[in-house]
Chains A and B, each alone.
Chain A
Amino acid sequence: MTLPLNELVASVERMAKVLAQRETDFARRKQEARRWLKEYADQGPVLRTAAQDVNAAIPTDEPLDAVVPTPPVPDRFTVVGADGSTIPPDRHGAALYYVINIGSLVYRHGSGERPQARSAPFLGYEQKDLFEGTALVAGNLLDVRRDQAEIEHLAERVEEEPKGPTLVLVDGTLLLWVLENLPPEAEGREKKVRRYLGALDRIREKGAAVAGFISRPRHTEVSRLLLLAHLGGDVERVRQAERGRLPLPDRAVFADLPAGARSALFASPNKINQMYASAGHEVWFFYLNVAAEGEEPIVARVEVPVWVARSDDLLSLVHAGVVAQSRIAGGYPYVLARADELAYISGPERQRLQEMVETALLRAGLPPSLSPKAYFKTLTRAGRRW
């Protein structure tokens, strides 16, 4: 064993105590936040500018404490979900390449038909695939490419669909937030966002609704908005109050939503959202209890572009569709669970692909060779160590 567990025993014990203490603090603040939600329910319009300044949820026209029950589900509607996974480029491997695999499922509610499953892999190996300027496409850059591949795959699948109510589900946020962390030499953010928004345009043109589903969200934007309301809209006092303490997660505030009900709509304060807004795709969101009647609440965050939020039909389809999907397997949309399964690249598959690459290199007259570092890893990690 190389992880000396005995040296961590005391730290683990301390951690458990700290977490328990935090939970007690959160329970108190949760009650406080729910009280504020009611107390300042109609303060939305006056808080908008200040909310943007402190990265708090931006209120829309709905009262902050709005609770909307599940709208009726259409007899027949289609849900298309996609997810992606990657094999990042390995500088120490036999060849420099990456893989993006997109899995998707088209599920026609009420049809009794077999859902259509698909896995679409892409191998990036050319100079233009592998580098943006001098930066290797890995980490955040690869994540952005995967997100783009997901949304473009979804747009393609929606375009193949016959007319009718269609809901497109993305696993995770609609906002390419990772772009904020990109190194300066990376190709322009705007270009990447435009490409993503181009796919949203295609979905909108087909008349479909699109939503991002975030399971167990860690966002704290609404709880910050409530603090802002309580402090009279004073941005400076909010910053001071938050100093040195963990913000309360929004999902705790909305854990009392009845089964199937959603919260009010808010706009995301994320900086990237301004680029979305200028193209007509500003991202709004709501919280939703996707648990079945009588079960423990499961609060998810659902993001939608503003054109979905402002259409009663599309918003109802997102709300009812996500609830219907989440109740199939319990707490998470069925199409996304299956899309993840269809995208997932297992260890043996990675190994097989690596062998395929090495064989192809040999056939092309290139003896594959690992870097010394990778070679020694194959020796030290292959067997049991004492």
Chain B
Amino acid sequence: MSETRIPVGRVLRASNRGFTVGCRVMQPDIPAFGSFVRADARTPDGAIYGLIYDVTVQDDLFVRRFVMVEPPEEVVRDQRENRQVPIEVSVLAVGYRTGDRIVHAIPPQPPVTMDYLYPCSPDEIVAFTRRFDYFRLVLDAPGVPADELIATSLLAAAAARPAEERMDFLVEAGRELTRLLANDLIRLDGLLQRIRSATE
């Protein structure tokens, strides 16, 4: 796939449920929690969509020598800008695309090692979030801060739309969450609160 945007990084390890990408700290667009991202699928016109749910700066013994003292500015810049200390970005797979068809389900195949991961464009985010079937994948995912992830991704998806459509979009998403979490009103209330407070 041709791509003009800067990739987030390359896949380190992967499974159908999710994958981990390594990238350099010095990268200008450090990926953020809740961002929509895309990796190329094994088919030529396919893609795998995911949500970033964890960004970890790797431990580094050399850096440890400096964190307890106040190092000179030159050292801080050298450590931040020159040294290739990787950050690991963990992604939860929430869907895939074959041709023009977007499916909210676990992708049939994971990306492979060294594949690039790209941030989704606003158009892609809008196309992906026309439906909310991916909520269930997030809510059921083990070891993932699911509520925070849904709230943050919905706000990102709202921001990708024109201003006049945002509120309707969030209300629609809220309805779907109400349906899914009808048996857990406390959790539902917390989630809706998060979304509401961010829009006020």
Residue numbers of A with Cβ under 8 A of B are 105, 107-109, 111-115, 117, 328-330, 334, 337-338, 341
Contacts and interface: CB of A to CB of B under 8 A. Distances in A.
Contacts of B83: 341
Contacts of B71: 328
A114 B65 contact: no
Given A112-B77, A329-B65, 9 more contacts: A105-B78, A107-B78, A109-B72, A111-B74, A114-B77, A115-B74, A115-B77, A115-B82, A329-B62
A107 B74 contact: yes
Interface string B46-81: 000000000000000010011000011111011001
A329 B77 CA distance: 15
Nearest to A292: B69
B74 A329 contact: no
A109 B74 contact: yes
B74 A114 contact: yes
B183 to A, nearest CB: 50
Contacts of B73: 112
Contacts of B72: 109, 328
A334 B71 CA distance: 11
A109 B71 CA distance: 12
Given A329-B65, A330-B65, A341-B62, A114 B82 contact: yes
A222 B73 CA distance: 39
Contacts of A329: 62, 65-66
A112 B78 CA distance: 10
Prevailing SS type, chain B contact patch? helix
A210 B71 CA distance: 25
Nearest to A114: B77
Interface residues of B, number: 13
Interface in B65-105: 65-66, 71-75, 77-78, 81-83
A338 B62 CA distance: 10
Nearest to B80: A114
Contacts of B77: 112-115
14 contacts: A107-B74, A107-B78, A109-B72, A112-B74, A114-B74, A114-B81, A115-B77, A328-B71, A328-B72, A328-B75, A330-B65, A334-B75, A341-B62, A341-B83
Contacts of B81: 114
Interface of B: 62, 65-66, 71-75, 77-78, 81-83
A113 B74 contact: yes
- Max count, chain B CB within 10 A of own CB: residue among A112, A114, A337: A114
Contacts of A112: 73-74, 77
A337 B62 contact: yes
Contacts of B78: 105, 107, 114-115, 117, 338
A222 B71 CA distance: 36
A188 to B, nearest CB: 40
A363 B73 CA distance: 48
Contacts of B75: 328, 334
Contacts of A338: 78
Contacts of B82: 114-115, 117
A114 B74 CA distance: 5
Nearest to B71: A328
A113 B77 CA distance: 7
Contacts of A334: 75
Contacts of A328: 71-72, 75
A28 B107 CA distance: 73
B105 to A, nearest CB: 35
A253 to B, nearest CB: 29
Nearest to B81: A114
A189 B78 CA distance: 39
Contacts of A107: 74, 78
B77 to A, nearest CB: 4
A108 B73 CA distance: 10
B76 to A, nearest CB: 9
A334 B78 CA distance: 11
A164 to B, nearest CB: 15
A338 B65 CA distance: 13
A117 B75 CA distance: 12
B65 to A, nearest CB: 5
A39 B65 CA distance: 41
A109 B75 CA distance: 10
Contacts of B62: 329, 337, 341
B23 to A, nearest CB: 18
Nearest to A328: B75
A220 B192 CA distance: 75
Nearest to A338: B78
A337 B71 CA distance: 15
Contacts of A115: 74, 77-78, 82
A52 to B, nearest CB: 42
A107 B83 CA distance: 14
Nearest to A118: B82
A108 B65 contact: no
Nearest to A337: B62
A330 B69 CA distance: 11
Nearest to A113: B74
Contacts of A111: 74
Nearest to A327: B69
A171 B81 CA distance: 24
Given A114-B82, A117-B82, A108 B66 contact: no
